Chain A
Amino acid sequence: MNYIDSSLKVVGTRPIRPDGVDKVTGRAVFAADTRASGMLWGKVLRSPHAHARIVSIDTTKAAALKGVFAVVSGVDFPEIASEEAFVGEGPMNFRDLSLNCMARDKVLYEGHALAAVAASTQAIADEALALIEVTYEVLPHVIDVEDAMAPGAPVLHADMFTSGVSPKPEKPSNIAKVVTFKKGDVEAGFKEADVIVEGSYTTQPVHQAYIEPHACLASYAPDGQVQIHTSTQGHFMVRAYTAKLLGISMSNIRVNPAEIGGGFGGKTLVYLEPVAVTLSRKSGRSVKMQMTREDVFRASGPTSGAAMTVKIGAKKDGTIVAAQQVLKFQAGAFPGSPIGPGCMCGFAMYDLPNVDVVGYDVVSNRPKVAAYRAPGAPITSFAVESLMDELAIKLGIDALTLREMNAAKNGTKTHYGPVHQNIGFTAVLDAVKSHPHWKSPLKEGHGRGLATGFWFNIGGESSAQVHVNEDGTVTAATGSPDIGGSRASIGMMVAEVLGVPATAVRTIVADTASIGFTFLTGGSRVTFATGMAATQAAEKVVEDLKRRAAQTWDIPVEAVEWKDGMAYPAGSNAGAFEPLDLAALALKAGRTGGPILAEVSVNAQGAGPGFGAHICDVSVDKETGHVKIERYTAIQDVGKAIHPSYVEGQIQGGAAQGIGWALSEEYIYNTKGQMENAGFLDYRVPVASDMPMIEAVLVEVPNPRHPFGARGVGEVPIIPPMAAIANAIRSATGLRMPDLPMSPPKIRAALDAAG
């Protein structure tokens, strides 16, 4: 069924989320809050070197220490064949993942795990780590992406030959693959252009910086059954990876998703779980592991940094005739940067006849990247949307007008193939035009920037169950970890279908043994895909309830209608019966066919793409180079906001992360390839006093493929901020800042250089 044009009672309201009280009282159980009988503490020994051969690891002394129950290193993990699959966020090579969890012959970045211990206390575990004797042969390392591509760079993987080029290279290199996308004839396009603008841009790797460090508790029983409690965006993903990496069957692994303290894409692969299971297997005890904040920065994945060039050609009237982009993305120590989406998203906002994009996936001695909100899109869009601003200036056309003229619409064919359908980009740009922020005069000394962003959003596999309890209340169970309020949105959709208040439905996240497979929480898919499954399950329950009412009244099921949470006889011909509510029907469930429940699993297609536009005003302290965000408005097509507060929250949070990416977040390496700022003191995420209020404007162009019209919302808001801020700085100072972060020293230096 489709409810897009229905009048809704629950969807679109702002009830208190079902897990809210637990989270404001300290009751909520996160992974590090769990304990088990006889539990040990597991800790990881990490490489101090950026690149080294492991000559030997001697664990004798550590193993002999009193209170140590297991010591493991690479030899304790099965060799995994090179095999790629799509289990987490993007293609993953199982061998790479295994090597990332525990190094074998080489360590490839500072922080790379190479051994682990389980001990009765954390202090003993620390002491044991210090007793592990490792002999390294330190190798030359490379950090920067362009250095890593250069001939003669230290090669990380002797068996890696660039794919996507022909003929196949004869020598290994750090370039894992080359990706190209072409539409039309870009050379001919540039020949037609009256104006051509070009720019080179760089971005730094940034970490998702979820406040909760990775943590898990694993137990390997003598019969081979494994239990894992963990902080993850996908417990089925943890099960799959752990099974694959350790050679255990999935039926022997049960993963319980703990409350998750933020992920943003960073908890879509495994780090600790296979290690904890191995320690537990070896020690015969449960093992709890948690990363320190320093571990999180050094050993878990940020997103890529990049070096990029962009070239755009346009007619004098502003019509873009050609666009070209070269993207070099850092993948970290193993291939797998988001170069594909990077190549696809940069120009996806525009209707362009001739496009040529080339992308490189490049390894270097940094932690393996992980997904981070709209992976690849913020990077590529920073470059494109900065250059669009330059084009507008050069043409003397207003930044919004230039975008309106070239905006992608329904029917626009993208440069990577698909045709945009049911998109709301025009509606977003209209909302910019009519917004008081855009119309307000600029204050003295302030600058204003505009930038836009696109993300595909995804659907995929989800399972949901709806149970009517014996008293008529409702439980909804799904396989989607709740990272930012999805229990609320799922419960609301179920409540809407059942015709009951939101509070009548409790939503829970079921473990891997208690619900059908559900792909991880990411790509802004949960409200869309899991919401679709839950909606359909609720619809099945309604059909069942109607059948039960019909049975009770002894009338045909067609003569029963369901309204406001109750079964009514449909019209006077059906008979005169008092309506039956959920409680009444549940009470007699035993007589009408037994327990009332429905489970639906879907592979949801048709996730509607999301578009956003951000307006940002800044002031710049011209002596210190400090940028202050004075006003910020984020406008986005969300399809349909199921719970508007959490939709706004996604947009505000995404924008805040983008502001950090733009102004202050970066990885700082010393000459030895060691990270110098592995902590919240010097890895500078925005704090409350850095931020203005962020006005989130919800544009609702329904996605016809979702029962309520929802689109994913979590990814898009992190895309526009970097360029919006860069464009605002350009407006305030005349300076084009092509390198992130646009930190005070860079701005002061640029001001000085400009005189």
Chain B
Amino acid sequence: MTSLSYAAPTSVDDAVKLLAGSAGLAKVLSGGTDLLVQMRSGRLKPELIVDTKKIPGIIGIREENGAFIIGAGTPGAVVEAHAGLNAAWPGLVEALDLIGSTQVQGRCSLAGNLCNASPAADSVPALFAAGATAIIVGSKGRREVPVEQIPTGPGRTSLAKDEFILEFKLPVRPARSSDAYLRFIPRTEMDIAVVGCGISVTLDANGVCTAARVSLGAVAPTVLLVQEAADVLIGHTLDADTLAKLDAVAQAACKPITDKRGTIEYRTKIAGVLARRVAAIAFDRANGIKNGKAH
């Protein structure tokens, strides 16, 4: 029987060496909320688990030159309790908050959610919309890449075998900017998104959108960044015409499948619905109108 080893390195170098040196499948463990389920079901049979949580900096949130940096393994519950992030990136925070239960929140991380590479991951559309970058470490050193370059297909990422994400960097927020995330699920909690949508916008003093990023989850093999949808928003307030166009381009961007969680037709329609609703929340927030959580 293959035996499974465990290591909890305390430095990036040690972790990279362990990953590089493993003969069989090596998996990075941060929160483990996906990894342990996949191991139990037999879908994954790693030989080595590298628990990265003891690496300095991988858990925690800091500000650097006005930009937030979130440690890759920071549990959802820690992110949600951070006042600064809640003010600047409410959409990202609520997206992370929607992953699983309170119990899962105690463990799940942005890096795990991104590297599990599910197209339905809740925090990923919000990360894409935010324009976040990931600081990746590996035996070839350190690189910073836009998050949308990381997932390449269901369960697949662009990370090399000996690479892992150390932290995420969020861009500096201009005035009158905000974001929002909504996902549709059949129940009110505990489901995987049928469709998810994250939108980040910056407005001018008249409420006209000057910058936007729109992302859709669970409507294609990977989370999508929908430039056409951003283009519909930029240069406009959120009037009825803009909303209608947003709905249409969001639907047009969908390339979903029919599976146990939703059909092609349904997912496509809901993508349009969510895009409108999320845009409304993001615009309100950017205009300084308070919104509650998107439960």
Contact = CB atoms under 8 A, between A and B. Distances in A.
A–B direct touch in complex (beta carbons closer than 8 A): yes
B66 to A, nearest CB: 36
A682 B261 contact: yes
A664 B190 contact: no
Contacts of B187: 664, 684, 686-687, 689-690
Given A123-B1, A624-B270, A744 B184 contact: yes
Lowest 10 CB-CB distances: which A-B pairs, in order? A745-B266, A689-B188, A623-B273, A668-B260, A676-B260, A689-B189, A690-B188, A677-B260, A687-B189, A127-B1
A664 B260 CA distance: 12
Contacts of A749: 265-266
A748 interface: yes
B291 interface: no
Contacts of B260: 668, 676-677, 682
Interface string A671-708: 00000110011101011011000000000000000000
Nearest to B195: A624
B86 to A, nearest CB: 21
B188 A687 contact: yes
Given A127-B1, A624-B270, A748-B269, A681 B191 contact: yes
B25 to A, nearest CB: 17
B213 to A, nearest CB: 23
A421 interface: no
B1 A743 contact: no
Given A680-B190, A689-B187, A745-B266, 8 more contacts: A626-B186, A676-B260, A681-B191, A681-B192, A684-B187, A687-B187, A744-B266, A752-B269
A743 B263 CA distance: 12
A668 B265 CA distance: 18
B1 A684 contact: no
A682 B120 CA distance: 14
B94 to A, nearest CB: 15
B60 to A, nearest CB: 30
B235 interface: no
Nearest to A124: B1
Contact of A745 (B191, B262, B295): B262
Interface string A68-106: 000000000000000000000000000000000000000
Interface string A111-144: 0000000000001100100000000000000000
Given A745-B262, A745-B266, A748-B266, A624 B184 contact: yes
A745 B263 contact: yes
Contacts of B269: 748, 752
Interface of B: 1, 41, 184, 186-192, 194, 259-263, 265-266, 269-270, 273, 295
Given A676-B260, A677-B260, A749-B266, A664 B186 contact: yes
Contacts of A124: 1
B218 to A, nearest CB: 13
A483 B144 CA distance: 57
A127 B189 CA distance: 35
Interface of A: 123-124, 127, 294, 623-624, 626, 663-664, 668, 676-677, 680-682, 684, 686-687, 689-690, 743-745, 748-749, 752
A684 B260 CA distance: 12
A663 B191 CA distance: 14
11 contacts: A123-B1, A124-B1, A294-B41, A681-B192, A682-B191, A682-B192, A682-B261, A689-B295, A744-B184, A745-B263, A752-B269
B193 to A, nearest CB: 12
* Among B186, B189, B263, B273, residue most surrounded by chain A Cβ atoms (within 10 Å): B186
Nearest to A681: B192
B190 A687 contact: yes
B45 to A, nearest CB: 11
B75 to A, nearest CB: 20
Contacts of A668: 260
A667 to B, nearest CB: 10
Contacts of A677: 260
A744 B186 contact: yes
A668 B266 CA distance: 17
A555 B199 CA distance: 90
A378 B289 CA distance: 47
A687 B190 CA distance: 8
A689 B295 CA distance: 10
B29 to A, nearest CB: 19
B100 to A, nearest CB: 9
Contact of A624 (B41, B188, B273): B273
A690 B191 CA distance: 12
A682 B263 CA distance: 15
Nearest to A627: B186
B178 to A, nearest CB: 23
Contact of B186 (A294, A623, A680, A743): A743
Nearest to A744: B186
Contacts of B266: 744-745, 748-749
Nearest to A292: B40
A294 B189 CA distance: 21
A143 to B, nearest CB: 14
A687 B262 CA distance: 20
B102 to A, nearest CB: 11
* Among A663, A676, A748, residue most surrounded by chain B Cβ atoms (within 10 Å): A748
A749 B265 CA distance: 9
Contacts of A663: 186
A684 B186 contact: yes
B108 to A, nearest CB: 14
A632 to B, nearest CB: 15
A15 B198 CA distance: 51
Nearest to A66: B1
Contacts of A743: 186
Nearest to B265: A749
Nearest to A676: B260
A626 B262 CA distance: 13
Contacts of A294: 41
Given A127-B1, A623-B273, A624-B270, A684 B191 contact: yes
A127 B191 CA distance: 32
A259 B146 CA distance: 53
Contacts of A664: 186-187
Contacts of A682: 191-192, 260-261
Nearest to A680: B190
A681 B101 CA distance: 11
Contacts of A624: 184, 270, 273
A123 B40 CA distance: 11
A730 to B, nearest CB: 20
A294 B262 CA distance: 21
A659 to B, nearest CB: 11
Nearest to B259: A676
B33 to A, nearest CB: 12
Nearest to A746: B266
Contacts of A123: 1
A743 B185 CA distance: 10
Nearest to B101: A687
Contacts of B295: 689
Contacts of B262: 745
A95 B265 CA distance: 46
A681 B186 CA distance: 11
A479 to B, nearest CB: 37
A637 B248 CA distance: 53
Contacts of B1: 123-124, 127
A517 B187 CA distance: 43
A676 B192 CA distance: 14
A687 B186 CA distance: 11
Contacts of A684: 186-187, 190-191
A625 B228 CA distance: 27
A131 to B, nearest CB: 10
* Among B187, B194, B262, B265, residue most surrounded by chain A Cβ atoms (within 10 Å): B187
Nearest to A685: B187
A681 B273 contact: no
A748 B262 CA distance: 12
A749 B261 CA distance: 15
